[in-house]
Copies of this chain bind each other. A is one copy, B any other.
Amino acid sequence: MATIYQVSELAKVSLATVSRVMNGSSRVSDKTREKVQAAMKELGYRPNIIAQSLASNRSLCVGMLVSEIHGPFFGQMMSGVESELRAAGKHVIIAAGHSDEAKEKEGIEFLISRHCDAIILHVEAVSDEYLIELSQGEVPIILVSRYVEQLAEQCISLDNEYGGYLATKTMIEHGHREIAYVAGPQTKADAVARLKGHKRALAEHQLTISEDLIFEAEFKEHGGMLALEHFLKLNNNFTALVCANDEMASGAMSYARSHGLHLPDDLSIIGFDNVVFASHLYPKLSTIENPVHQMGQMAARIVLQQVYHVQQEEIQHQFEPMLINRDSIADLT
């Protein structure tokens, strides 16, 4: 592999000059630039990124920590980050945090030890205080799908409250009045906000908020099954079920079917996130789109802007959920 030194010899200039034409920073006369470029081409010169990193103290790489590397949600996010960053010549190192505080911290440490120029984080277990302290450190962090007030400029989040509102409002507009709600763990900010939106939609339409029609469960298939079992036992005459995510919705659908309910005629269901399998379900699940891919892209752009000083057009910190209407809601009007 040719080095900068060999290029400088062939072009009969100094190392410094070659470095200059590479970075395009300082001014170099057109003649010398051409000489150098010719020499580079002739030698098939490719800069050694590691040497660059050592000398410049920038690794040209950004770390990304997600809860799980598999899973539709994170896939979309990583995909958004990677495409944007690679187009800019940076590379991304991935690590998993497994929604566990110790593992998340360990993952972050790992990424820092790799000298990432920035770290994009999707963390669930770690506290706001930890993140604030982390942000004081050397390496810039960007938070995806999480809002920490003191770190607003570093956050990209979804308006979960509006999403929850939208889901329930959709049911109401389809003529539903008795609406059961499967909430996610109220320890998670997203879950809390979505539930809040649900209640706002109810209130806005003068519907009473009954605690008997709210059930808290894990963001998993099983959670949806438990919830529907619970509601069915209470024997409320609900016609619609709003689920705080698609997995729960899928679980509820299985459970409903195995208990003789015809979907969507006997029960309308809506999910949240619009993960890939939502459209594979039967009936195809109506849901609230969570634009994770775009949020990943935006995280990458913020890094480009803030860390690499590449001007970006329209940085957006908050994203709006959107209704995806498929076949799981019966129209009662």
Contacts and interface: CB of A to CB of B under 8 A. Distances in A.
Interface of A: 46, 48-51, 53-54, 59, 61, 68-72, 74-76, 78-79, 82-83, 86, 91-96, 110, 113-115, 221, 250, 253-254, 257, 276-277, 280-282, 284, 293
B93 A92 contact: yes
A61 B63 CA distance: 13
Given A75-B75, A82-B95, A50 B46 contact: no
Overall SS of chain A's interface: helix
Contacts of A276: 70-72, 277
Contacts of A114: 49, 61, 91
A78 B86 contact: no
A108 B74 CA distance: 23
Contact of A91 (B82, B110, B280): B110
Copy count, this protein chain: 2
A80 to B, nearest CB: 9
Contacts of A50: 50, 53-54, 59, 115
A242 to B, nearest CB: 19
Contact of A277 (B96, B115, B277): B277
Contact of A96 (B79, B253, B257): B79
A75 B71 contact: yes
Given A75-B74, A281-B281, A96 B115 contact: no
Contact of A70 (B72, B110, B254, B284): B72
A94 B94 contact: yes
B92 A94 contact: yes
A70 B75 contact: yes
27 contacts: A49-B113, A49-B114, A50-B50, A50-B59, A50-B115, A54-B54, A68-B79, A69-B75, A70-B79, A71-B75, A71-B276, A74-B75, A75-B75, A82-B94, A82-B96, A86-B95, A86-B96, A91-B110, A92-B93, A93-B93, A94-B94, A221-B280, A253-B282, A257-B282, A276-B277, A277-B280, A282-B282
